[in-house]
């Protein structure tokens, strides 16, 4: 079983790495990193914070593009073009197919992030060397943790893509649902916080029903802000091991649930 899942993961990752769109995404990320070095001197203060923020944002955005455009294609193209007929004619169970595809996507994300991290580290180190006075509180370990959690966030997003690919018949619908889930997941915490604080201050009259619906949505949709360590990395704030463990466990839990559901649905699916 592991051999089959591993073989499919490697094939999926290779297909993604050799996709020309990946070069576009990498070039875009490198452009942002280069831009960071070029414009660093224009900032009069908080230069270190801006550099770290910009680097992490570039990695995160490149990862999102990777998952939404290449990742979805890797899973949906198999079904659209009927390559899945060939794969499922081999002794793959439907579950092995789902796990193989997922691990392939994660492997692709890890390889791409690792490459971008090399460039990003060079950029941050370069700006740090040019303007050391602005990097007083900067910590490499917090920076690397922030990148690692971008990886966790993208791994969760890959599971969302696999889940929606398993239940829909079109890659476009998968894209719409995945992007929507991501946007809701990124903003739901802030929306809830805003509603509660404004309601408490008596400025907004939020109905109980709306609040209840939002609470349910917050439970259903993964809270992506749990993996966002940009503020900590930008200010060099210490990270609590408990928070790291909780966030990683939260992400892993969601991934396992999504893959389990995807497998259940995929087992019942027919491939015409």
Partner 1 sequence: MAEIVIDSLYKKYKPGLLKKPVQAVDGLSLKVPAGTVYGLVGPNGAGKSTTIRMLLNLIRPDRGEVRIDAQQVISGGFLHQVGYLPENPYLYDHLSLRELLRFAGQACDMSAQQIRERIETLTHQTGISHALKRRLRTFSKGMRQRAGLCFALLHDPQLVVLDEPMSGLDPLGRKMVCELILDLKHQGKTVFFCSHILSDTERLCDRIAILHHGRLVREFEADDLRAFRNKERSLEDEFVAAVGGGN
Q: Find where tokens 């499922």 sit.
A: 88
- Say whether residue 199 binds partner 1 (CB under 8 A): no
Q: How far is the CB of 72 from partner 1 (least distance, A)?
A: 16
At 194 the three-state DSSP class reads helix
Q: How far is the CB of 23 from partner 1 (least distance, A)?
A: 13
Inter-residue contact 232 to 239 (CB < 8 Å): yes
Q: Characterise 140 by phi-psi region: left (phi > 0), alpha (psi -120 to 50), beta (else).
A: alpha
Nearest to partner 1 of 209, 272 (CB atom): 272
- Say whether residue 169 binds partner 1 (CB under 8 A): no
Inter-residue contact 80 to 171 (CB < 8 Å): yes
- Say whether residue 23 binds partner 1 (CB under 8 A): no
Nearest to partner 1 of 18, 45 (CB atom): 18
- Say whether residue 243 binds partner 1 (CB under 8 A): no
With CA atoms as reference, report the closest residue to 49 among 148, 145, 187, 142: 142
Q: How far is the CB of 93 from partner 1 (least distance, A)?
A: 7
Residue 8 parent element (H or E)? helix 2-17
Distances (CA, A) of 146 to 151, 184, 237: 9, 21, 11
- Say whether residue 2 binds partner 1 (CB under 8 A): no
Q: How far is the CB of 78 from partner 1 (least distance, A)?
A: 9
Q: Which stretch binds partner 1 (CB under 8 A): 146-154, 213-221, 227-235, 264-272?
A: 264-272
- Say whether residue 271 binds partner 1 (CB under 8 A): yes
- Say whether residue 168 binds partner 1 (CB under 8 A): no
Q: How far apart are CA 60 and CA 27, in angstroms?
A: 14
- Say whether residue 8 binds partner 1 (CB under 8 A): yes
- Say whether residue 170 binds partner 1 (CB under 8 A): no
Q: How far is the CB of 8 from partner 1 (least distance, A)?
A: 7
Q: How far apart are CA 19 and CA 10, in angstroms?
A: 14
Distances (CA, A) of 207 to 62, 144, 211: 38, 42, 6
Q: How far apart are CA 226 and CA 243, in angstroms?
A: 9
Inter-residue contact 227 to 249 (CB < 8 Å): no
Site for partner 1 in 64-103 (CB under 8 A): 81-83, 85-93
Q: How far is the CB of 83 from partner 1 (least distance, A)?
A: 5
- Say whether residue 24 binds partner 1 (CB under 8 A): no
Name the residues that contact partner 1, by CB under 8 A: 3-4, 6-8, 10-11, 14-15, 18-19, 81-83, 85-93, 270-272
């Amino acid at each position: 079983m592991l051999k089959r899942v591993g073989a499919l993961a490697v094939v999926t990752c290779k297909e993604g790495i050799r996709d020309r769109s990946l070069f576009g995404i990498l070039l875009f990320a490198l452009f942002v990193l280069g831009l960071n070095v070029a414009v660093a001197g224009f900032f009069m203060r908080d230069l270190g914070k801006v550099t770290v923020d910009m680097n992490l944002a570039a990695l995160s955005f490149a990862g999102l593009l990777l998952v939404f455009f290449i990742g979805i294609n890797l899973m949906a193209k198999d079904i659209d073009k009927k390559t899945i007929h060939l794969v499922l004619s081999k002794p793959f169970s439907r579950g092995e197919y789902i796990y193989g595809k997922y691990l392939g996507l994660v492997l692709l994300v890890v390889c791409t992030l690792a490459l971008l991290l090399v460039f990003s580290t060079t950029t941050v180190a370069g700006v740090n060397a040019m303007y050391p006075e602005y990097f007083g509180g900067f910590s490499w370990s917090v920076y690397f943790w922030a990148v690692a959690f971008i990886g966790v966030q993208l791994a969760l997003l890959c599971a969302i893509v696999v889940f929606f690919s398993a239940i829909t018949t079109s890659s476009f619908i998968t894209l719409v649902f995945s992007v929507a889930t991501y946007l809701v997941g990124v903003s739901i915490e802030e929306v809830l916080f805003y509603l509660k604080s404004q309601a408490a201050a008596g400025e907004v009259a939020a109905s109980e029903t709306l609040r209840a619906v939002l609470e349910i949505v917050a439970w259903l949709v993964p809270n992506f802000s749990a993996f966002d360590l940009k503020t900590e990395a930008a200010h060099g704030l210490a990270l609590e091991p408990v928070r790291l463990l909780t966030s990683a466990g939260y992400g892993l839990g969601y991934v396992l649930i999504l893959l389990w559901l995807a497998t259940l649905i995929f087992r019942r699916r027919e491939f015409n």
